[in-house]
A and B are shown apart, each in its own frame.
Chain A
Amino acid sequence: MRQLGAHRKLDPKLVAAFGYFIGVILQEALLPGLLPGTASMEPVFCFMAVLAILGHNSIAIVLALAGGLTFDLLTGQLVGLNALSYFVSVLAVVSVQKNLVKETLVAPAAVIFAGYLLKEITYLFVLVSLGMNFLLTRVLAQLAFSSAVNACFGAGLYWLLHFRMGLEVKVDRDY
């Protein structure tokens, strides 16, 4: 599936920096204006998940914390909530990434779906523990739909970065 022309090596730090800046602009300003009221696509989460799946663990964790904290600081309410949910999610992806088949799109898509689901459950757990109530039907529908949206976007991003642009798998020497 890898393209013969993809001989260039993409720097994962550059990908993380790009994902951070583009993701913040897309998530906070462009997408809410473009698609108001629909399931939110989270490019920062998808960049973070793709980097984690490809084994760039520390970069993915830094992106998760930096991205999450930026969203929290921009909103000014419940500071740390996005950072915490991103952090828990990226840890889960990091813990399973060594066992994944990385040369197909199925496994990354499934991991991004599950990772996003975990992120949202962590987020909701904190909100409910702070005394907020949500309609169960709305929660289930929103979880399924937004996880699917982000899994599709994440799989597309994985294909672009890994198969087309040459972002490589990092092999952990301790493994």
Chain B
Amino acid sequence: MRGIPRAVKALIAILIVIIALSVVISATSGDRASLTLPEKILRGIFSPIGDFFWNIGRGISDFLGGLFRLGSIMDENRRLKEEVEALKSNVAQISGLEAENARLAGLLDLKKQFKGKTVAAKVVYRDFGNWLGTVVIDRGSKDGIKPGMAAINSLGIVGRVVASSADTASILLANDPRNAIGAVTVRSRDFAIAEGVGDGTGVLRLKLLGATPDIRPGDMVVSSGLGGIYPAGHIIGEVVDVDEGAYGMAKVAYVRSSVDFSRVEEVLVLVDSQKGNLK
């Protein structure tokens, strides 16, 4: 190597680095059954630190958000005081309704119970980039979480597990362009595939599979259960726009999820994916 000019050596080193990184990117582009040792060690060290600073960030964000809303909160407070006076006369009626409400809430909770095992997890940190959507949660393979499991919250489908270590797991968010969900429209039962569009707004692209799909804005879209990852019946979102495409041949709809993907804090991982259907 002594006779090789410095510039050529540098060029060779650059090419080696670029080729090596390209190979690793290609090898890790899909779902991964387990993480490598450096990844496990790094996650083990960073998870508690990330969790600590994530909570600080959220705390400051909530505090500043509260300050910005202070003016409107004071107006609302004044209005609410007046309403309280008016509502005092209805207290007797409300106490009767309260008992009814408790019974209905109990029924609702029962209805929401799942057949299979679920694991509740908290987001500890997230991918910072502009284009992809991945969050890391504080539960992993020790709790039975493996790649290919669906993650939901009360508002709908959040994403799916793509990698896990003993104490952590990566969730690929539903709005990531790598994610595809088997979907069906509630009103017309048209089957479709919901894909992330990578715009960070929570809008998913719905590719309709039927020859003459009947879909319009306002239609509710849920998971079809056909993909093998997401159990049937979980909310994906509401249709906000329908694009007929050239000559009406390719109908594409856009669905807005109720989940705010930039603010996901807790998720429920469906460990028994196929048993995880709502009762």
Q: Which residues of A contact B (CB under 8 A)?
A: 24-25, 27-37, 39-40, 42, 65, 70-71, 73-84, 87-88, 91, 120, 123-124, 126-127, 130, 132-135, 138, 142, 146, 174
Name the distance in Å between B194's Cβ and chain A's nearest Cβ: 14
B199 close to A135 (CB less than 8 A) = yes
A-B contact pairs, 17 of them (CB 8 A): A25-B53, A27-B128, A29-B51, A31-B128, A32-B126, A32-B262, A36-B263, A73-B42, A76-B32, A78-B25, A79-B25, A80-B24, A84-B25, A91-B14, A134-B198, A142-B130, A174-B6
B18 close to A133 (CB less than 8 A) = no
Complex Cα gap A135–B197 (Å): 7
Chain B residues near A83: list those with CB within 8 A: 21
B262 close to A37 (CB less than 8 A) = yes
Chain A residues near B130: list those with CB within 8 A: 39-40, 120, 142, 146
B54 close to A32 (CB less than 8 A) = yes
Given A32-B54, A37-B200, check contact A84 B18 (CB 8 Å): yes
Chain B residues near A33: list those with CB within 8 A: 53-58, 60-61
A74 close to B46 (CB less than 8 A) = yes
B28 close to A71 (CB less than 8 A) = no
Chain A proximity mask over B113-145: 1 for CB below 8 Å, otherwise 0 = 000000000001111111110101000000000
Q: Which residues of B contact A (CB under 8 A)?
A: 6, 14, 17-18, 20-22, 24-25, 27-29, 32, 35-36, 38-39, 42-43, 46, 49-58, 60-61, 124-132, 134, 136, 162-163, 170, 172, 177-178, 197-200, 260, 262-263
Complex Cα gap A70–B94 (Å): 56
Output the nearest chain A residue to B172 by Cβ-Cβ distance.
Answer: A77
B162 close to A73 (CB less than 8 A) = no
Interface of A is mostly: helix
Counting chain B CB atoms within 10 Å of each CB, the highest count among A42, A74, A174 belongs to A74
Given contacts A84-B22, A134-B197, 19 further A-B contacts (CB under 8 A): A25-B49, A25-B53, A29-B125, A30-B56, A33-B58, A35-B57, A37-B262, A70-B42, A71-B127, A71-B128, A76-B39, A77-B163, A77-B172, A80-B24, A120-B130, A133-B177, A133-B197, A134-B131, A142-B131
Given A123-B131, A130-B29, A134-B131, check contact A74 B125 (CB 8 Å): yes
Complex Cα gap A42–B200 (Å): 17
- The total number of A-B Cβ pairs within 8 Å is 158
Complex Cα gap A71–B199 (Å): 21
Instruction: Give the residue of A30, A37, A78, A132 whose beta carbon is less than 8 angstroms from that of B28.
Output: A78
B28 close to A29 (CB less than 8 A) = no
Given A28-B128, A32-B54, A40-B128, check contact A79 B28 (CB 8 Å): yes
Complex Cα gap A33–B53 (Å): 8
B199 close to A36 (CB less than 8 A) = no
